[in-house]
Amino acid sequence: MSTLNNMLARHPLFTASPLSAIPHLIQTAIQGFDQACVSSRSDHQLYATDSGWILRIDAPGLEKEEIKISFEDQGLNIEAEHEDFALEKRFVLGNDVDTENIMAKLEDGILELTLPKTQSTKNINIQ
C-alpha cells in the first residue's frame, strides 16, 4: 500500500497545483475520444435501391477464395481469414429479401452483396 501512496505522491496530478493538471486532463480526454472514433468507424455500408439493397463490406487484401458466405436462420453470415485481416459479420435479413438470388462480387478490396427484394414486397400508398 505504501508503494501505491509513494507513486501517487510523485504523480504530477498530485504534486502540482490543480490548474496545472487541466492540460493533461484535456489531452487524456481527447485521446480517449480519438480512440472511440477509430473503434466505432463502420466497415460496411447498406444502401436501399428500388429492387432491394446493396451491402458493401471493406475486405482489404482478401481473395474471393478466402471468403465464405452462408445464409442460416435468417442470418447472412460472412467469414474470411487472411494473413493480416479477418472478417466475421452476421446480418439478420427480413422476410422481404429474396435469399435465393443474393449475388456477391469482390472488387478493389470491397465485397459487394446485392440483396434483391422478394416479389411479394408491395409498396403501400399513404392517403
Spell out the domain ranges in the chain: 2-39, 44-116
**Dist. CA 9–CA 1, nearest whole Å:** 12
Cβ neighbours of residue 57 closer than 8 Å, sequence gap 6 or more? 43, 44, 78, 87, 89, 110, 111, 112, 113
Q: The domain at 44-116 falls in which architecture? A: Sandwich (2.60)
In the predicted model, what is the mean pLDDT of residues 53-77?
90
- Judged against a pLDDT cut of 80, whether residue 101 lies above it is answered with yes
Residues 6+ apart with CB under 8 A from 7: none
pTM of the predicted model, to two decimals? Answer: 0.60
Alpha carbons 9 and 44: distance in angstroms, whole number: 47
6 Ramachandran zone, left/alpha/beta (phi>0; psi -120 to 50): alpha
Q: Are 62 and 106 in contact (CB under 8 A)?
A: yes
- If pLDDT is split at 50, 70 and 90, which confidence band does 17 have? low
